Structure 1
Amino acid sequence: MKPGYVYILANKPMGVLYIGATDDLARRVSEHRQGSQKSFAQHYNCQRLVWFEEFENIHDARAFERKMKKWNRAWKVNRIVMSNPQWRDLAQSL
């Protein structure tokens, strides 16, 4: 089974956050940047990949995505700041 990823996009540091899950992170980030789909991320210009985590399979990733979407904002921001305090765009490292 393919690995899965949960990711967070932001429009700027401490800005609007979008959480998603995918089996191909590089492709999905590229789709967000191209604006190929009308979505929350496109509407708020969330294109900066600020956090992601890899899972053994896409089912585990989707389960964690659903769980994470229920978190309050402070928990999500803390998760980002712990691994990426500068809110750098991590897409170049993919």
Structure 2
Amino acid sequence: MPMGKVYYVYIASNQSRTLYVGVTNNIRRRITEHKAGEIEGFTRRYHIGTLVYFEPFGDVYAAIRREKQIKHWRREKKLALIATENPDWHDLSEGWF
């Protein structure tokens, strides 16, 4: 990944494995906000705070395209993507805080 701004497409979840797909330029801050329930709406309502997958991008437009692509996938395909990198569903942000 070249030096410069990095954007992340991520999948976060909860104990029930409800999925949320998002994009951010600061993944640590964003996951902190999810864990604290600071983001109104879906993620607060469903207590989304476990980071289960992420991809870095050097281009914001590429990150947004990827986010939209994943959001339109069926749940099974999202689960398969998570399984390729994190089959045990560990919280990838564990140890960041």
> Are residue 92 (structure 1) and residue 89 (structure 2) matched?
no
Find the aligned partners of 1:37 and 1:29 in 2 and give their Cα distance.
10
Give the letter for the 1:77 counterpart: L
Q: TM-score, normalised by structure 1?
A: 0.91
Give the one of 42, 45, 48 matched to 2:47: 45
Distance 1:86 1:12 in 2: 13
Q: Stretches of 4+ moved more than 2 A in 1? A: none
Correspondence for 1:55 among 49, 52, 57: 57
TM-score when normalising by structure 2: 0.88
Say whether residues 1:10 and 2:7 are aligned partners.
Answer: no
Partner of 2:84: 82
Look up the equivalent residue of 2:74 and give its one-letter code: N
1:65 pairs with 2:38? no
d(CA) in 2 for partners of 1:81, 1:67: 18
Alignment-mate amino acid for residue 16 of structure 1: T
- Separation in 1, partners of 2:22, 2:57: 13
Q: Which has the higher helix share?
A: 1
Secondary structure of 1:90 counterpart: coil
Give the CA deviation at 1:17. Answer: 0.2
- Structure 2 stretches of 5 or more lacking a match? none
Partners of 1:9 and 1:20 lie apart in 2 by 8
Tell me how many residue pairs correspond in the alignment: 93
Q: Cα distance, 1:93 vs. partner?
A: 5.4
Please, what is the CA RMSD of the aligned residues? 1.4
Asked if the contact 1:4–1:59 (Cα under 8 Å) also holds between the matched residues in 2, the reply is: no
